[in-house]
Amino acid sequence: MGAGGVKVRDLHWDDFEPLANSYLALYDERDAEGTIGISLFDERPKPSGEVAWFSDLYRRVLEREVIVAVAEVDGRAVGACTIAPAGGSAPPSETSHVGVLGILVERTHRGRGCGRALMERALAEARGRFERVRLGVFSTNPRARQLYERFGFRSTGRWVGEIRRGERRIDLEWMTLELPPGDGPKR
């Protein structure tokens, strides 16, 4: 058990409901504040879409294609960090050595170390499986950016005005962490 009663573990099938709900709650957050750093669909997805997303994620974890670390507090999933190969589920390719990182912690559990604990676990698993991890961070999300810098991510470019949120245009900054081959456990 880590700081703040956070336990980080593998993905379980039962995590569907809490993880889908924390994702769907981002649609309310976007309307209220607009600062969250994940690009969303124009319309809130239907529950059936979330079932399809989760089943696919679970399958890909079982096939060791995707890394998922889950943060649990009081027996319930409150956040997750995923690292998936660039290029999606397509056959191995010239970009398969690159992992794309995504992270989300439920609003009421932010600022208590879940994000940091999730990154530690997911990046430890990524060593030996990916040679590079990259992510895109919104210019409106300094909290997330600071977290990534602490783990050694460095800025590799910025797409100005890439995100259209309501009347605003937000820059998307690319950040990359190199994980040299031979640095960590093997596949």
Ligand X SMILES: CC(C)(COP(=O)(O)OP(=O)(O)OC[C@H]1O[C@@H](n2cnc3c(N)ncnc32)[C@H](O)[C@@H]1OP(=O)(O)O)[C@@H](O)C(=O)NCCC(=O)NCCS
Q: Which residues bind ligand X (CB under 6 A)?
A: 36-38, 103-105, 110-116, 135, 137, 141, 143-144, 146-147
- Nearest to ligand X of 83, 104 (CB atom): 104
Q: What is the bridge-based pairing of β-strands 67-73 and 76-85?
A: antiparallel
Closer by beta carbon to ligand X, 79 or else 85: 79
Q: Closest CB to ligand X among 152 and 181?
A: 152
The CB-of-48 to ligand X minimum distance in angstroms stands at 23
> Shortest approach of ligand X to residue 181 CB, angstroms?
26
Nearer Cβ to ligand X, position 71 or 179? 71
**Using CA atoms, how far apart are residues 4 and 2, in angstroms rounded to an integer?**
6
Q: For the stretch 99-138, what's the b/e string if a residue is b when 16 or more beta carbons lie within 10 angstroms of its beta carbon?
A: bbbebbbbeebeebbbbbbbbbbbbebbbebbbbbbbbbb
Nearest approach in angstroms of CB 185 to ligand X is 24
Nearest to 130 by CA among 86, 170, 160: 86
Supply the minimum distance, in Å, between the C-beta of residue 100 and ligand X.
11
Instruction: State the greatest distance between any 2 C-alpha atoms of the chain, in Å, as a whole number.
Output: 47
CB 170, min distance to ligand X, A: 12
Helical residues (DSSP H) of 67-141, grouped into ranges = 114-126
Pick the closer one to ligand X by CB: 24 or 63. 24
The residue number whose beta carbon is nearest to ligand X equals: 115
CA distances from 40 to 19, 35, 37, 67 (A): 15, 12, 9, 22
